Structure 1
């Protein structure tokens, strides 16, 4: 990436995080964001279509990196022939998700009315959906017999059901204080279909 583009991207992301922590996300104006980031409107529109999409992309990239690190860490621990501890991986992944949300709690709470603004909700659902599909394809033995890993529709419906439900639970969790990561993760997993926690 061009160093100037990367530097501007960092400035914009820092500014949108700061503004979203102080104001309702829907109220952040492009002009205000440009002033905070020290860039022009033309520069902003080379990086994003709106402050909300910029915020969703920044949070999504951060969360995706954290979840990928969890998966890589668990895979690196496996000895040859050793089976993946599916429950440990799911619990670690769920906890990582909630730590991310707690770290940016003011931002996510400012992005809520009845629920999260569509851009952030969709971003979270897509990240969770992709992680579940990858888990199922990597470890197909976790799936129930009725869901074959080569049945794309069945796999997508299964992952969509879980990801949408998880985001709905997250929206409720964000309304409580203090944000107890361990209890939140335990409750979300207790409400999830048990096959996701199987050893692979």
Structure 2
């Protein structure tokens, strides 16, 4: 049994009621302008609470909004970090379902996300969301790397793959908002899948393994680039040696 001293403030019903009032007032305001433009005094007045009470919940309206948005998408997005543990054979379908659910959440908060992704200047809310996306996709990429058998993904590969996923999601949401959200979430994901990086479309064997081997055209291009780099390097060393002779 949890003792009174072990209880967290957020477990207190009074805390939850006040937070609900703050979030409700914040969502109304954030639908009309970026959270960064909302003053603490404006929010506390709308919610009917004191500034002291507000600071028990967040450091700023932007932080509170980001926290709320993450709370909303976390239940559908968190499974991405362990996707391959339970869905190796149909992981692309599960990845699609998760992303569609995220977009459904964005659509239900269209005006708010419109200010987050389309506002002028740096968005504190977007920065916090980006860090959250980095954690989720970082787990996804680490999970994927453990299933690769033909080569060991390097730390650089994993860092690039994670950044790629994060910025792709941001680009997907931004593009959808910018084009008026006329396409369905399913249509948006289908469009993205036509542009997805090859590794994300990899197939898994019955034993749960995959490969990073590229198709012939890409492999030939990479080999050509590598050979050209080697030739430039050799020429550079030769020129350097001639200068010092």
TM, length-normalised to structure 2: 0.67
Q: CA deviation at 1:153?
A: 4.3
1:135–1:24: structure 2 CA closer, same or farther, 3 Å change rule? Answer: closer
Match of residue 193 from structure 1: 197
Match of residue 169 from structure 1: 172
RMSD value, Cα: 2.8
Structure number, greater radius of gyration: 2
1:119 is aligned, of 121, 124, 145, to 124
Q: CA deviation at 1:101?
A: 0.9
For the residues of structure 2 that align with 1:122 and 1:141, how far apart are their CA atoms? 29
2:44 is aligned, of 11, 17, 34, to 34
Match of residue 154 from structure 1: 157
1:36–1:84: structure 2 CA closer, same or farther, 3 Å change rule? Answer: farther
Query: Do 2:58 and 2:64's aligned partners in 1 also have CA atoms closer than 8 Å?
Result: yes
Q: CA deviation at 1:30?
A: 1.1
Query: Do 1:86 and 1:196's aligned partners in 2 also have CA atoms closer than 8 Å?
Result: no
Q: CA deviation at 1:145?
A: 5.2
For the residues of structure 1 that align with 2:16 and 2:83, how far apart are their CA atoms? 28
**Most deviating of 185-194 and 120-129:** 120-129
Question: Match of 1:129, SS?
Answer: helix
Match of residue 90 from structure 1: 95
Query: Do 1:124 and 1:167's aligned partners in 2 also have CA atoms closer than 8 Å?
Result: no
Aligned residues: 192
Question: Match of 1:191, SS?
Answer: coil
Query: Do 1:26 and 1:52's aligned partners in 2 also have CA atoms closer than 8 Å?
Result: yes
Q: CA deviation at 1:126?
A: 2.8
Query: Do 2:25 and 2:47's aligned partners in 1 also have CA atoms closer than 8 Å?
Result: yes
1:40-55 map, 5 Å: 40-55=50-65
TM, length-normalised to structure 1: 0.80
Q: Which has the higher contact order (CA 8 A, sep 6+)?
A: 1
Q: CA deviation at 1:9?
A: 1.8
Match of residue 186 from structure 2: 182
Query: Do 1:98 and 1:181's aligned partners in 2 also have CA atoms closer than 8 Å?
Result: yes
For the residues of structure 2 that align with 1:158 and 1:169, how far apart are their CA atoms? 16
For the residues of structure 2 that align with 1:144 and 1:126, how far apart are their CA atoms? 29
Query: Do 1:162 and 1:192's aligned partners in 2 also have CA atoms closer than 8 Å?
Result: no
Query: Do 1:60 and 1:123's aligned partners in 2 also have CA atoms closer than 8 Å?
Result: no
Question: Match of 1:22, SS?
Answer: coil
Q: CA deviation at 1:167?
A: 0.6
The Cα offsets for residues 80-134 of structure 1, whole Å up to 9 and x where unpaired, read as xx8441211211121112111111111011232258x532322333333322222
